[in-house]
Each structure stands twice: as C-alpha cells, then as structure tokens.
Amino acid sequence: MSAVPSPAPTGDYLPTPPSEPPKSTVSAKEATVYLHTPFHPKAELYAESRFKKVLRFGDASEEELMGQVDGILLRTGHVTRSMILNAPNLRIIARNGVGYDNVDKPTVKEKGVIVTNCPGGNSQAVAELALTLMLSLLRRVLEIDHRIRSGERVPSIRALSPGLFGKTVALVGMGDTSYELAKLLLSFNCTILAYSPTSSKERWTSEDTKYPVTIPHTRFDSLEEMLGKCDVLSLHCPLTSETRGLIGEKEIGWMKSDAILVNTARGGIVDERALEKKLKAGELGGAGLDVWDVEPPFGESLGELGKMLNVICLPHLGGSTDGVTLEGCTTAIDIMADYFDGKDLRNRVL
C-alpha cells in the first residue's frame, strides 16, 4: 500500500520535486496568505501577527483571492487545480494535519509548489476518539440512549453489551495514531492484530527505533486472514490509490457478523454503500465513522447510515480538541513563516 502519485493531467509532465525547495522572494512580513477554512481563533490572530495580510474565504472571488496569495494555510477543504493555477505567486501550502490527499498533487508538482504537513500532532486526540467510538458501540450507548429518550423503560438486563475488555482489535496501519491507540488498548487487555505492508518488520518491536513502547501484537500479511479473527477493526492508514475502497463488501464479508468497524482515517478507504448494505443485512455489528466521502456529512450523503442506531456519525473531528487544534494550526503557521524568512523548511511532503 505504498503511496502512488495521482495520475497526471493528460499531456502534462510532472517534474520530481527538487531536493532543495526554491527560496522565497518575500519575507513573512511581506507575504499574503489565505486561510482556506477557519483555523483556531487564537491561531488566526497569531497568523495576522506573522504575515502582512491574511485573506479568508468570502473576502473576494476565488480568482481574485488566488491572484494575491503567496501561501495557503490548510486545515480542511480542498486545494483544487483551478485554485493553484489562479495563484501565480503561490509558493507553499502548509497543512495542519497529517494527510494531504485534499491537495491536488499533480498540479502542485507541475507548478513547483511546496506542501508541508504536521505529523503526529493530533495522533493522541484521534486515538482517543477511536477508543471512544469502540466503547460507545460495544456498550450500545447510542441505541440505549435513544430508547430511553423515546420513553422506553430500559432495565439493565435488557441492555447487556459485549464491552471492549479482552477483545481482539485489528489495526490497519502502524503509524502514530495506531501506536497511540494500541497503547490505550493494552490497558483493556485487548489482543492486538496489525496489517501494514508499508511498515518495517521492526515496527512496535524491541528493535523499533521510532516508538519507545513495545506493543505486543500479531502482524498479518493477509488482510483476509486478519479480518476473520477480529472483534473490532480500526483504520489508520492514509488515503492513496491503493487504499481507496480497501474495505468493501468482500472485506466486510470476511469479518464476524457481530464485529464493529471504526474509521478515523479517511472516508474513501471504506465503501459506504457496501457498509450500509452489510449493516442492514445484520452481517456486521456496527460502525463508528468520523470520516466520509462527503465532508461534513449531512442529509442524503449519509444514506441509510445516518438512520441506524448501531452507527455513530461524526464530522471528522478526531483531531479537534482545543489544545491539539491550536498547536497544529500554530505549527503550520510557523512552518510557513519560517519558509518565507529563509529558515529550515520542516515537514515537507511535496
């Protein structure tokens, strides 16, 4: 599942990004930056102190805005090909977060625009939410809350649940978030399974030089073999051409009928209509979804998933605790300002 660049526009040659980024011709205090979607309020004030001008969505038409910008600060939303082509002075896109699938990669390569991210900053918050979804589903919180609010008398004997303690949890991906979640799961005496073709064989072992805590786990080369053994499947891989649709009808069919699926990674990894079909048929126990094909999720985009009491629907808020959001937004601002001021460029991904 190694990352594969998106296909290039027909007829376009995409040069390999240079090993050294092009130098900025403006300083931070001379730069105009665009906040594509809102940052933490305190971070927005901080941005105004670091740059000459901060533009926001709605200040003018897209074409007028892009014609002025030297940098784009990105949290959610997408930076499209048309935005980049309309921004002749654009030098850098600084993303608050790990994934950068919301940036048109072929076009930034074509135009030589730098892209940076903030890895690891929100991993504990996302792991916390993944655990919250597991516990809420396995203790039937949403369903029982709804029954009580609907006027039903619910004696505890009619609200028994499997719980999380001692369950087998399968993790797809072995990066920062998965690692933080695995540490939490150990306190629940969970058996941990892992699938990550792109991670080294030493990952989470005593020979791992990246992560200090050894995670007892069983590593699988076959997704099919692992899915048949788990009570909980939690996704923590990036969205690439190889992981898009990774969990579809066939893969859900490999799982136990009472297992649950948690996705705090990216929406395109799970086929939502296949998930809906399996849940309606009683062939899966439940799902906790923080990421979607259409974000934020609303109305018809939810389909039947939004009506099911064994499905928890959240609007991609995994990393959105107050402290984590402020830190991530501030880091993205600092990375961009440092680039404009000729300092070392951190966390370049494109």
Active-site positions read 266, 295, 316
User: Encoding tokens for residue 43?
Assistant: 């971070």
Q: Left, alpha or beta for 117 (phi > 0: left; psi -120 to 50: alpha)?
A: beta
Determine which helix (DSSP H) or strand (DSSP E) holds 272, and give its type and residue range.
Answer: helix 272-280
Q: CA 34, CA 217: separation in Å to the nearest integer? A: 44
**Tally of CB atoms within 10 A around 189:** 10
Q: Which residues are 93's β-sheet partners?
A: 72, 115
The DSSP element (H or E) to which 138 belongs, if any, is helix 123-138
* Four-residue CA torsion sign, 288, 294, 298, 299: negative
Contact (Cβ atoms closer than 8 angstroms) between residue 130 and residue 234: yes
